[in-house]
């Protein structure tokens, strides 16, 4: 091998390990899953021993009320969580965007919940929600109120609250970063024009932040579909199917009902749904970016 060819090969050699790993552990499994979703597949079987059943798994799921319920639980969970977290997170960011002492310490404390394992978050909240020994009901009772059946009658709400606790800081931090990178000139110009705080927020800050906010919302939405451990530890999907998100149902179908084919078909449905949502959000984010850029230019021109 001459030095020349060696140099020409270099980029490929740098890329090969990554390509091989992702091929083996991501692409191939996804293909395998699509193949498996057309088969009647028991965990004790090798896939070559399984029977081809066509679209049966997909059709069964399409008419399965339990799957519908878990799909709607997932959608309710994901959208509620994202909307609530965006509102609270952006709101807090606007409030905290001030020049105060110790902001970095604050940020450190706020990212703590995100760094801790979901399993641990689940167990902390399961303890706090406990009907008799839990923190919430004890506090309520010591104040003379009735205890609330958190994980029984209000399971979905309780799970949503726990997720809001864990992930609002994510949005807060990103919004803060976005706020602090806004062009100072634009804000200065608005202040000179005599805009009130609200007007500044509505007409300048929010529109300029929009591209970041859309991406943030997109990332949160994607992650909301991945939440599993917190719910597993807190409620195991119950009571009834009231907190059984699709991810949990996939894992139950695979391990408890031992129907890998159906679980694979379910995974495909989930993947298609996510693909659709991601594409939609991606398109929105491109549009927003263009609009924000136009707005920024406009402000620059006006002030300049």
Partner 1 sequence: MTFERQNPAFYALLAVLIFMSVGPVLLMFVNSFKLDVDIIGGTTGLLFLPTIQNYETALCDILWYELDHLDFCSLKFGGALINSLIIALISTGLTLVIGCMAAYALVRFRFFGRDTVSLTTLMVRMVPPAVLLVPVFGLWNNEFCIGKTTLVGAWIRDIFGGRGDVCLAGTHSGIIIIYVAMNLPFVIWILQSFIVQVPRSLEEAARVDGAGPFQVFFRIVLPLIKPGLAAAAIFTFRIAWNEYLLASALSDRNTKTVPILIVNNMSEFNVEWGVIMATGMLLAIPPIIFTLFASRQIITGMTAGAVKG
Partner 2 sequence: MLKTTQRIALGAVSALALTVAASAGPYDDYEGETLIVNFPAHPHFDAVMRILPEFTAETGIEVEVDQLPYLKMRERQTLELAQDEGEYDLIAYVVFSKADYVYADQLENLARYFMNPKLADPAYDPDDLIDGYVYNIGFAGGNKGYLEGKTGSLFGIPYGSETSILGYRTDIFEKHGLSVPETYDELLDIACRIPELEPGMGGLSSRAASGHHASHAFLLHLAPLGGRIFDDQWNPIVNNAAGAEAANALKTIVDCGPEGSTSFGFGEALGSFLNGDTAMFLDTTVVAGQINDPSKSKVVGNVGWALHPMGVRRGSQTGGFGIGIPANAENKEAAFLLMQWLTSKKGDKLVALAGGNPSRFSTHADADVNAKFPHMATFGEALKHADPDWRPIIPVWGKINADLGTTLSKVLTEGLDVQEALDGVAERTRAVMEEAGYYTWQ
Q: Which of residues 243-302 bind partner 2 (CB under 8 A)?
A: 255-258
220 neighbors 85 (Cβ within 8 angstroms)? yes
Verify binding: residue 23, partner 2, rule CB under 8 A: no
Verify binding: residue 130, partner 2, rule CB under 8 A: yes
Verify binding: residue 165, partner 1, rule CB under 8 A: yes
Partner whose footprint covers residue 242, from partner 1, partner 2, none (CB < 5 to 8 Å by kind): partner 2
Partner whose footprint covers residue 156, from partner 2, partner 1, none (CB < 5 to 8 Å by kind): none
- Residue 171, token pair as written in the block: 């949005």
Verify binding: residue 104, partner 2, rule CB under 8 A: no
Q: What is the largest CA-CA distance in the chain?
A: 84
Verify binding: residue 101, partner 1, rule CB under 8 A: yes
Looking at the DSSP bridge assignments, the partners of residue 40 are 51
Q: Of the candidates 114, 57, 54, 70, which has an alpha carbon nearest to the alpha carbon of residue 89?
A: 114
Residue 111 CB, shortest distance to partner 1, in Å, is 6
148 neighbors 140 (Cβ within 8 angstroms)? yes
Verify binding: residue 76, partner 2, rule CB under 8 A: no
- Residue 52, phi then psi, degrees to nearest 5: -75, 125
Binding segment toward partner 2, per CB under 8 A, in 11-19, 191-199, 231-239, 294-302: 231-239
228 neighbors 237 (Cβ within 8 angstroms)? no
Enclosing H/E stretch for 242: none
Using the minimum distance from each CB to partner 2, give the nearer residue, 150 or 167: 150
Partner whose footprint covers residue 125, from partner 2, partner 1, none (CB < 5 to 8 Å by kind): partner 1
Query: In whole angstroms, what separates CA 102 from the centre of its chain?
Result: 29
Residue from 91, 113, 152, 183 binding partner 2 (CB under 8 A): 152
Using the minimum distance from each CB to partner 2, give the nearer residue, 63 or 198: 63
- Residue 82, token pair as written in the block: 């994202």
Q: What is the CA radius of gyration of the chain?
A: 25
Residue from 61, 78, 155, 187 binding partner 2 (CB under 8 A): 155
């Amino acid at each position: 091998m001459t030095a020349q060819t060696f140099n020409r090969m270099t980029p490929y050699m740098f890329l090969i390990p990554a390509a091989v790993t992702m091929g083996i552990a991501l692409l191939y499994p996804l293909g395998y899953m699509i193949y498996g979703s057309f088969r009647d597949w028991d965990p004790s079987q090798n896939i070559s021993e399984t029977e081809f059943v066509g679209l049966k798994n997909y059709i069964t799921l399409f008419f399965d009320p339990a799957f519908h319920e878990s799909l709607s639980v997932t959608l309710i969970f994901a959208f509620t969580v994202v909307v609530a977290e965006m509102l609270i997170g952006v709101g807090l960011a606007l409030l905290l965007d001030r020049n105060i002492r110790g902001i970095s310490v604050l940020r450190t404390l706020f990212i703590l919940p995100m760094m801790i394992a979901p399993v641990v978050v689940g167990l902390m909240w399961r303890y706090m929600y406990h009907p008799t020994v839990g923190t919430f009901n004890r506090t309520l009772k010591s104040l003379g109120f009735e205890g609330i059946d958190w994980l029984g009658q209000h399971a979905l709400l309780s799970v949503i609250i726990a997720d809001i606790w864990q992930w609002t800081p994510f949005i807060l931090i990103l919004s803060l970063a976005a706020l602090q990178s806004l062009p100072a000139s634009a804000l200065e110009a608005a202040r000179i024009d005599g805009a009130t705080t609200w007007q500044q927020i509505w007409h300048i800050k929010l529109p300029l932040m929009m591209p970041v906010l859309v991406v943030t919302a997109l990332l949160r939405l994607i992650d909301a579909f991945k939440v599993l451990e917190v719910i597993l530890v807190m409620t195991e999907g119950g009571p009834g199917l009231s907190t059984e998100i699709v991810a949990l149902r996939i894992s139950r179908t695979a391990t408890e009902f031992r129907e890998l084919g159906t679980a694979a078909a379910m995974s495909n449905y989930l993947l298609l749904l996510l693909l659709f949502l991601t594409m939609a959000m991606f398109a929105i984010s491109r549009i927003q970016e263009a609009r924000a850029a136009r707005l920024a230019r406009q402000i620059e021109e006006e002030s300049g």
